[in-house]
Structure 1
Amino acid sequence: MAKIAYILLCHKDPEAIVLQAERLTAAGDYISIHFDARAPLKDFRTIRDALGDNPNVTFARPRLRCGWGEWSLVQATLNAVEAAVDAFPRATHFYMLSGDCMPIKSAEYTHRFLDTRDVDFIESFDFFDSDWIKTGMKEDRLIYRHFLNERKHKRLFYAAVETQRRFGLKRAIPADIQVQIGSQWWCLRRRTIEWILDFIRKRRDVLRFFRTTWIPDETFFQTLVRHLVPEREIEARSLTFLMFSDYGMPVTFYNDHYDLLLSQDYLYARKISPEAEDLKARLGTLYAAHDVEFRVSNEGRSLYKFLTGRGRIGRRFGMRFWETESSLGRERELLIVISKKWHVAKRLLSHIRQITDVPAIEYLFNEVDTPLPDLGGIQSTLEKRARHRRALMRMLFDYYATDRMIVCMDPDSLDLMQDFASDRSKTRFLKLSCQFSDDYLIGHARRIGLAGEQTGQVTLDRLLPTIRNDMVYEADRIRDTGFDHLYQVREASTAQENASALADFLSIPYDQALSLAQVEDLFAD
């Protein structure tokens, strides 16, 4: 009978991970856990202390700091796979999971399903000939070397690609390798896993190549399986059910999706909402159940398309699907930098990026050219961003795989600030109080169309007091809202005074905050 070693990559919610491991191992299966080294050590200790005595649980070593799109995700998977191969000699299959996956069939059904199909389940399509990649770079993922994380160092990432392109620094793909692409949620037989581990020990050239590709978790295993396993023994599909919204983000499942999930021709589903406690409990009980009959109708995607086209309440112009859960999430923290002088806020953000791992986005609600990932169109115009502000922010939190994010806003965006402040997430504000010279105000008037190059001095003299008073009014409105967590960095204050505000706002040590406050010419025009 099939015995599954689950390969679990996770980075948060230790209590849920413990429950997941206990449910899977109670049915006689195994689990190898890689818990991201970026996460708090106390969370890992919670998992290890709870599961350390369970003989069907092992842990990947060493723990790595993983980043989306990086080789670190593949290396973490390999570490977990090697730990499972050594710890569980009776495991017949290795199944890749994430912390928000749950079984949608019983263990009995799952084992019988794998026993009757002597194949590997992995999406693997030709990298160049298929249309699996819908947007973004394609060939450049492979032919150029990628040492930076696109999400953390976007400008440097693309600058490095452009430099390699300019100087013709293309590299060859290993001659005997036909690169494949597909979902990272696979289920492989033990023999295939052993072949892969043996292959990478012998072919260090292939390993070196993939180490500097971009998003290798979508190509590494997919390519090696096709290279090592006869085609007749590969079923190019995932056994994990997931759907994507119109905006290209994974659909989240809630308590009312139980019956829909069970009817799909898959063994697992991703991704289950952390708040769907009832759904997770029912699916956990289901995995241990016996003699359950499943009526597979596989209508999930067509039903989802039908419902979202009409709103979850059944009307075409009813509530849109992203509005059914409008919160950013209780565990998330949004940090908003407020400044009329956009270049000052951007300058501060560039220095914050150097000392923290927190994703920092510039004036996304004020400046259409702000660099943003492709989120399926919701980010394409300022109007869409403002109208679907919470949906946009949730997508960005998910895209950057983070619970903390920094954004910049103009002081006139008070309605956006109030909306985010009313959310169940944690919201903090940092007001940059700058001094405004007449020359700056004249330039500002020209930038926003209140004045032109030919506007006379008399007109400008009449206009300047109004603009200055308007800026004072905006600052007073923000102060009068009574935001719970509003901090100020003032151009007229000392570096020590500003450091205290920065330390509280960013939750960083005072000495790091002082280095930010002491940035030369921070407020310079």
Structure 2
Amino acid sequence: MAKIAYVLLCHKDPDAIIEQAERLTAVGDYIAIHFDARSPEADFDRIRQALRDNPHVCFAHKRIKCGWGEWSLVEATLKALESAVAAFPQATHFYMVSGDCMAIKTAEYAHRLLDARDCDYIESFDFFQSDWIKTGMKEDRLIYRHVFNERTQKRLFELSHRLQKRFGLRRSPPEDLQIQIGSQWWCLRRRTIEWLLDFIRKRRDVVRFFRTTWIPDETFFQTLVRHLVPSAEIECRTLTFLMFSDYGMPVQFYNDHYDLLLGQDFLFARKISPEAEELKARLGALYAAENVEFQISDEGRNLYSFLTQRGRVGLRFAPRFWETEGTLGRDRELLIITCKKWHVAKRLIAKLREMSNIPALAYLFDEEGTEMPALGGIEKTIWKRTRHRRALVRMLFDYYETDRMVICLDPSAFDLMQDFSSDRSVTRILQIDCTFDDAYLIGHAERIGLAGPQTSQSALDSILPTIRNDIQFETDRIRDVGFTHYGLIRDGDTDEQIADQLIPFLGVDRDTALALARTEHLFAD
């Protein structure tokens, strides 16, 4: 059975480190601790004294002064690994953690997962071909030498970088290595660790190269494991659940994230907020628990993206000039139906097509498969349609040879509504408000990837209020902005009330408006 030796890099909070070591070793696993040499000696002595009688604990044989982005983090890890390999001959796996990590599965679950497949768990993507690095320095991390710390010696870091570029002082990685990149939170088998330590003893040139790369903890182990281990024995993923904000900062987890964390397909989570005392207590008791069943829903990242990456008022970049230039035409009318329940809007425009010659398109900025005429390629993808929104709609007016056209938009497409409303043409907006019961919201969560068939009821209970509030936010935002030509119909309105809104919106007579209002099963789910 798997026996895990945790490799803990830490620099603060000695009490938490002691608790973490005691929790992880209570079930028979091991831990090797590296405590930053920049931290107080008294704190380190306190940790050593508290754990000195625990045979499942060892310490790195040398403490390193660590700095973010430096080789020192890799060196500290290697010192802890060397001590762990010597101290724990029964350890089968070595798992990298920090003081901000906590287990979100039981030891039983972790051991079963590691026993199920003989492989190493580490992210390792091609450094040059992948898009793992989203922003900032990429190739320059490797081809120039970095001896100053960007955070603490910023001016020297930038000066050194500029001078090397000016004088062409480039270098190449070792020829036999294909540089990889990935998360620094890995779990490697004992054989892999032994191969790696033996490799760097023989290849000092490799160590010299990585010693002056920038952020080597994201490339050193990732490159060497891929170099030493057959690809079939590498699971290119981390077992630690972590997320980053748009600004590259780690997302922190709080007390109300307990059920969400347990539903993720990972063994640990990072970062647990220091203030989340209840969460830490519940997770602390979890690792040693027995016979716990986990329902994996894995909706964490989707939920975070849903909440933060769709944009809110004032939190996104202004439209680019190519999105706002041009006009639909001074004498044209764009009629926008916005409804969260897409099938309701689709039923209404299907009936409209039967009763009038007004062109009506469904959710062309939301659904890739929306039926559209060929317009030379601009219609091929949602990205193209949205980027060239005015050009697309202008071409549709031309194609249908009309000055009045209906399109449907999801209420989240607020920026499109504002953009079209600012055009010199006339834009009319009809908002359809629907009721949302829990069954519909659960189905909606599954459709957009926030939940799945295995999502626990407790996880659903935490997701549904979020979705309901988000829908209400979108609805209120449209209603409150004060569009010049705006109408509203609600699920529950009488046929006459609906017709009263359709007449000015569509410019149809009352009989036609009443017939549309009486569309069969208009609001049915």
TM bucket by the smaller chain? Answer: 0.5 to 0.7
- CA shift at 1:145, angstroms? 1.0
**Which residue number in structure 1 is paired with residue 453 of structure 2?**
none
**Which residue number in structure 1 is paired with residue 192 of structure 2?**
192
TM-score normalized by the length of structure 2: 0.59
Q: Distance in 2 between matches of 1:52 and 1:151?
A: 35
**Which residue number in structure 1 is paired with residue 174 of structure 2?**
174
Cα gap change, 1:308 to 1:22, in 2 (>3 Å): same
Paired letter, 2:42? K
CA contact (8 A) 1:241 1:267 kept: yes
**Which residue number in structure 2 is paired with residue 306 of structure 1?**
306
**Which residue number in structure 2 is paired with residue 69 of structure 1?**
69
**Which residue number in structure 2 is paired with residue 454 of structure 1?**
none
**Which residue number in structure 1 is paired with residue 121 of structure 2?**
121
Q: 1:151-202 deviations in whole A, cap 9, x for unaligned? A: 1111111111111122221112111011000000000000000000000011
Cα gap change, 1:309 to 1:235, in 2 (>3 Å): closer
**Which residue number in structure 1 is paired with residue 346 of structure 2?**
none
CA contact (8 A) 1:145 1:213 kept: yes
- CA shift at 1:261, angstroms? 0.1
Describe the SS at the equivalent of 1:6: strand
**Which residue number in structure 2 is paired with residue 294 of structure 1?**
294
- CA shift at 1:50, angstroms? 0.4
Runs of 4+ in 1 over 6 A off after TM superposition: 316-319
1:271 equivalenced with 2:271 (yes/no) = yes
**Which residue number in structure 1 is paired with residue 92 of structure 2?**
92
Q: How many residues align?
A: 316
**Which residue number in structure 2 is paired with residue 107 of structure 1?**
107
CA contact (8 A) 1:2 1:91 kept: yes
CA contact (8 A) 1:253 1:273 kept: yes
**Which residue number in structure 1 is paired with residue 254 of structure 2?**
254
CA contact (8 A) 1:310 1:317 kept: no
**Which residue number in structure 2 is paired with residue 235 of structure 1?**
235
Paired letter, 2:281? A
Paired letter, 1:27? V
- CA shift at 1:146, angstroms? 1.0
Describe the SS at the equivalent of 2:34: strand
Q: Distance in 1 between matches of 2:293 and 2:230?
A: 33
**Which residue number in structure 2 is paired with residue 433 of structure 1?**
none
- CA shift at 1:318, angstroms? 13
- CA shift at 1:308, angstroms? 3.9
1:26 equivalenced with 2:39 (yes/no) = no
- CA shift at 1:310, angstroms? 9.0
Q: 1:432-463 deviations in whole A, cap 9, x for unaligned? A: xxxxxxxxxxxxxxxxxxxxxxxxxxxxxxxx
TM-score normalized by the length of structure 1: 0.59
Q: Distance in 2 between matches of 1:172 and 1:282?
A: 49
- CA shift at 1:304, angstroms? 2.0
Q: Distance in 2 between matches of 1:155 and 1:286?
A: 46
Q: 1:326-355 deviations in whole A, cap 9, x for unaligned? A: xxxxxxxxxxxxxxxxxxxxxxxxxxxxxx
Percent identity reads 77
Q: How do residues 472-491 of structure 1 correspond to structure 2 at under 5 angstroms?
A: none
CA contact (8 A) 1:7 1:80 kept: yes
**Which residue number in structure 1 is paired with residue 9 of structure 2?**
9
**Which residue number in structure 2 is paired with residue 142 of structure 1?**
142
Q: How do residues 400-439 of structure 1 correspond to structure 2 at under 5 angstroms?
A: none
Q: 1:231-284 deviations in whole A, cap 9, x for unaligned? A: 000011000001112222111001110000000000000000111111111111
Q: Distance in 2 between matches of 1:39 and 1:229?
A: 36
Q: Distance in 1 between matches of 2:45 and 2:176?
A: 44
Paired letter, 1:99? G
Q: How do residues 355-394 of structure 1 correspond to structure 2 at under 5 angstroms?
A: none
Q: Distance in 2 between matches of 1:302 and 1:199?
A: 40
Q: 5+ unaligned residues in a row in structure 1: which ranges?
A: 320-525
- CA shift at 1:301, angstroms? 1.0
Paired letter, 2:17? I
**Which residue number in structure 1 is paired with residue 508 of structure 2?**
none
**Which residue number in structure 2 is paired with residue 516 of structure 1?**
none
- CA shift at 1:115, angstroms? 0.3
Q: Distance in 1 between matches of 2:129 and 2:75?
A: 27
Paired letter, 1:194? E
Describe the SS at the equivalent of 2:206: helix
CA contact (8 A) 1:124 1:182 kept: yes
Describe the SS at the equivalent of 1:257: helix
CA contact (8 A) 1:5 1:30 kept: yes
- RMSD over aligned CA atoms reads 1.7
Describe the SS at the equivalent of 2:66: coil
Q: Distance in 1 between matches of 2:259 and 2:119?
A: 28
Describe the SS at the equivalent of 2:24: helix
Describe the SS at the equivalent of 1:207: helix
Cα gap change, 1:100 to 1:90, in 2 (>3 Å): same
- CA shift at 1:213, angstroms? 0.7
Q: 1:486-509 deviations in whole A, cap 9, x for unaligned? A: xxxxxxxxxxxxxxxxxxxxxxxx
Q: Distance in 2 between matches of 1:296 and 1:243?
A: 17
Q: Distance in 2 between matches of 1:170 and 1:318?
A: 42
Cα gap change, 1:228 to 1:309, in 2 (>3 Å): closer
Q: Distance in 2 between matches of 1:196 and 1:173?
A: 18
1:204 equivalenced with 2:204 (yes/no) = yes
Q: Distance in 1 between matches of 2:73 and 2:309?
A: 35
Q: Distance in 1 between matches of 2:313 and 2:264?
A: 28
Q: Distance in 2 between matches of 1:157 and 1:147?
A: 8
Describe the SS at the equivalent of 2:43: helix
Q: Distance in 2 between matches of 1:63 and 1:41?
A: 11
CA contact (8 A) 1:3 1:28 kept: yes
Cα gap change, 1:161 to 1:58, in 2 (>3 Å): same
Q: 1:91-122 deviations in whole A, cap 9, x for unaligned? A: 00000000010000000000000000111000
